[in-house]
Amino acid sequence: MNRAEKRRQKIREQKSGHTSSDQPATPTRQALDLALQHHSAGRLPEAEQACRQILQAEPEQPVALHLLGLIAHQVGQHQDAVVLISQALAIRPDFAEAHANLGTALKGLGKLDQAADSYRKAIAIKPDFTAAHFNLANTLRDLGKPEQAVASYRTALTLEPGYAEALSNLGATLHGLGQLDAAADCYHRAIAIKPDFANAHSNLGNLLSDQNKPDDAAASYRKAIAINPHVAEIHSNLAVILGNLGQPDAALASHHQAIALDPSYAKAHSNLGKTLMDQGQPDAAAASYRRALAIDPDDAMTHSNLLLCLCSMADVSPAAGLEEAKRYGAMVARKVTARYTSWQTELQPQRLRVGLVSGDLKQHPVGIFVESLLAHLDPARIDLRAYPTTNNADAVTLRLRPHFSAWTSIAGLDDAAASALIHGDGVHILIDLAGHTALNRLPLFAWKPAPVQVSWLGYFATTGLDTMDYLLGDPHVAPAEDQAAFMESLVRLPESYLCFTPPDCAPAVNPLPALANGRVTFGCFNNISKMNDAVVALWAAVLDAVAGSRLFLKSRQLGDAAACDAVRERFAAHGIAAERLILEGASPRAELLAAYQRVDIALDPFPYPGGTTSAEALWMGVPVITRRGDRFLSRVGTSIARNAGLADWIAADDAGYIAIAARQTRDLPRLAALRAGLRAQMRAAPLTDAARFAGHFEAALWSLWQTFADGQTGAADPQTTKQQ
């Protein structure tokens, strides 16, 4: 036999526990050989019949009982499998293969701890049992014990270095632990051993996606699909990448292929929702998220995506959003086995240990807004601890890290382990910077690892968690009358709830383009998913009100010709000719900022306005017309404008929005003067005054801690309100 045939023979023998070197031929031996032949050939009914015939003659034949149990497991009858294999073990306790397959049957019942114990018994009897080590590793990984899983995978590979499946699964586990280079090495070795191993190509695609190498990731997914086109997960993952690459039609085709292959695959519906949301179709996205949750009601990330989607829908009231968030909160609370009720923290500390949980401590709006704050917090009073939820890093990450006394990734930890780690660190105040956005770890806050827990910066509505004590806002985004829409107590910083970090790569502000062009250019560099039908209608009215004006849109999706055609069609429906639109795809940040040198006035979308985008426009001397809404999110533009000294650029309604555009463009010299002085105005304004903001931020944190220390349940000062 060649090597492959020997391996197949070994697997058959390990499954059955019946080796070709057993006793001389007997009727039972011959019958067992026949049963095994049927089983190996996939003829399960014939194998079952052969086993039952053996057991009629010898009711306590352990190999037949075991094989019959294995067949029961293979047809989904896991409980029958457990009973039959347990009978075999009662007769033959040293039956290593039976212990291993009992573990597999128990795993089928979801009894992972018992399954792991069975694999360990098999290994104790037969230390060189490769499959048992491999299955134990898989089970430990499912139990959220990745380090132990890695050890078991390595043992399996020591016994069989060419075990491609073990290499691929070891790579996936190392990937989860943030050991990306080691993971990549495992995937490449697995593929070298077994080039047609679809799962290894797929896992490599996942890694490349996380490394922000979308073209390479797509290539790996396509190789996996070429080998095995019937796996819904791979089509779904490819769809996500294609969406990120600005290929919406191809993305939708892959999403629908995934759903066609497996309509019960919840993640395929969820991923379709993301693409629809990215294309500015929130109603369709919400429907996809709800289909995913109907299949898997406990998928916290899909529920987060639904809540984020609802925030952008003007017809979903804050009260309705609160009710959906409460359902999320109840769901994650059910998974908490023991919420922390005591903490090893000093009530009167010299320094507050403040933990930040985020996947966005990098080139991201959150990273941009926290950078200058961190540099101005007083290290004698605030001890910062970072708990990143991803191991990805960039130049911004490297600049942020020195501001923290500890940087502890929780990317490879489940919620119980992550909350235990944070609790063990004695954090006084734990701050979530993500809310329901990507890479969030909100469920760990349900364990209450810190005595005071705060939502800030990355989200703009209630989290839905009864363990999230406070939400930081300001008087513009979170007035007292909004408290009823939040589970958290609203805390208002005195001026702005955020502080913009001016970019080093920004070019100089240029003269007003309209003076040279003879026409006004409006612009919006927000993601076009924010450009709903009401926004298109209003911007078309602005173009009508300002003769000869142009609209410059710049967004990742506009790198796709079909997406550009769709935008032109939407404006054409309002009578706007295509030549009045300038459409461009994404650019590196320095080029993006330089593109503002072609814009006279920026237009803010609604109800999901710009944040970083608006601040960047202002820094480039481009004022932003914004429309005040009826909730936190839709007032972010108002807060930015007021804290930049531009209150007269805030509209109360559509008519006011158009009026501002018309009024400001009638006096171009005045607009040019504003442009020339806006960067200096920004430097002196609360929006970029990091030292001032840091003082407000520190004072708020100490106030919240003192409230806890005093044992109070309400607010410590008039700036705090609490839901009754």
Q: If you write DSSP's letter for every residue of 251-284 in order, what string do you get? A: HHHHHHHHHHH-TT-HHHHHHHHHHHHHTT-HHH
Residue carrying the six token digits 């397959």: 101
Residue 722: pLDDT band (50, 70, 90) is very low
Whether 246 has a pLDDT exceeding 50, the answer reads yes
Nearest to 359 by CA among 397, 402, 388, 398: 388
Distance of CA 295 to the CA centre of its chain: 19
pLDDT tens figures, 362-371: 999 999 999 9
CATH number at residue 245: 1.25.40.10
Residue 27: pLDDT band (50, 70, 90) is confident
Say yes or no: 265 and 373 in one domain: no
CATH number at residue 596: 3.40.50.2000
Say yes or no: 619 and 676 in one domain: yes
Say yes or no: 187 and 237 in one domain: no
Say yes or no: 281 and 157 in one domain: no
Looking at every residue in the chain, the average pLDDT score rounds to: 94
- Looking at the 3D structure of the chain, how many domains does it have? 4
Mean pLDDT for the stretch of residues 284-296 = 99
- Asked whether residue 715 is assigned to any structural domain, the reply reads no
**Most confident of the ranges 35-49, 240-254, 465-479:** 465-479
Distance, CA of 293 to CA of 291 (rounded, Å): 5
Of 300, 335, 370, which residue is a domain's last? 335
- Asked whether residue 13 is assigned to any structural domain, the reply reads yes
| pLDDT of amino acid 18 | 54
Edge-to-edge, what's the strand order for the sheet holding 489-492?
Answer: 406-407, 382-388, 352-358, 429-432, 452-455, 470-473, 489-492, 720-721
Distance, CA of 327 to CA of 710 (rounded, Å): 31
Mean pLDDT for the stretch of residues 592-615 = 98
Say yes or no: 36 and 70 in one domain: yes
- Asked whether residue 417 is assigned to any structural domain, the reply reads yes
Say yes or no: 532 and 388 in one domain: no
| pLDDT of amino acid 17 | 57
| pLDDT of amino acid 654 | 98
Strands 352-358 and 489-492: unpaired
Whether 196 has a pLDDT exceeding 80, the answer reads yes
Whether 9 has a pLDDT exceeding 70, the answer reads no
Token pair of 64, please? 């037949």
Cα dist. 196→95, 223, 620 in Å? 34, 9, 52
- Asked whether residue 224 is assigned to any structural domain, the reply reads no
Backbone angles phi, psi at 502, to 5 degrees: -60, 135
- Asked whether residue 346 is assigned to any structural domain, the reply reads no
- Asked whether residue 698 is assigned to any structural domain, the reply reads no
| pLDDT of amino acid 144 | 87
Say yes or no: 76 and 151 in one domain: yes
Distance of CA 506 to the CA centre of its chain: 30
In a 3-state reduction of DSSP, which class is residue 356? strand
- Asked whether residue 93 is assigned to any structural domain, the reply reads yes
H-type alpha helices, 458-573: 513-517, 533-545, 561-572
Of 305, 335, 365, which residue is a domain's last? 335
Nearest to 319 by CA among 491, 482, 534, 477: 482
Say yes or no: 386 and 439 in one domain: yes
| pLDDT of amino acid 14 | 52
CATH number at residue 443: 3.40.50.11380
pLDDT tens figures, 103-117: 999 999 999 999 999
Range of the structural domain that residue 361 is part of: 352-492
Output the CA torsion 275→281→287→291 (10° steps): -10
Say yes or no: 92 and 179 in one domain: yes
Token pair of 220, please? 């790996």
Whether 463 has a pLDDT exceeding 90, the answer reads yes
Say yes or no: 324 and 362 in one domain: no
Say yes or no: 240 and 267 in one domain: yes
Of 157, 178, 209, which residue is a domain's last? 209
Residues 6 or more apart in contact with residue 147 via CB below 8 angstroms: 177
What percent of the chain clears pLDDT 90, i.e. is strictly above it?
A: 91
CB 202 within 8 A of CB 231: yes
| pLDDT of amino acid 715 | 42
Say yes or no: 202 and 244 in one domain: no
Of the ranges 21-30, 418-427, 438-447, 711-720, which one carries the lowest mean pLDDT score?
A: 711-720
- Asked whether residue 85 is assigned to any structural domain, the reply reads yes
Mean pLDDT for the stretch of residues 130-140 = 98
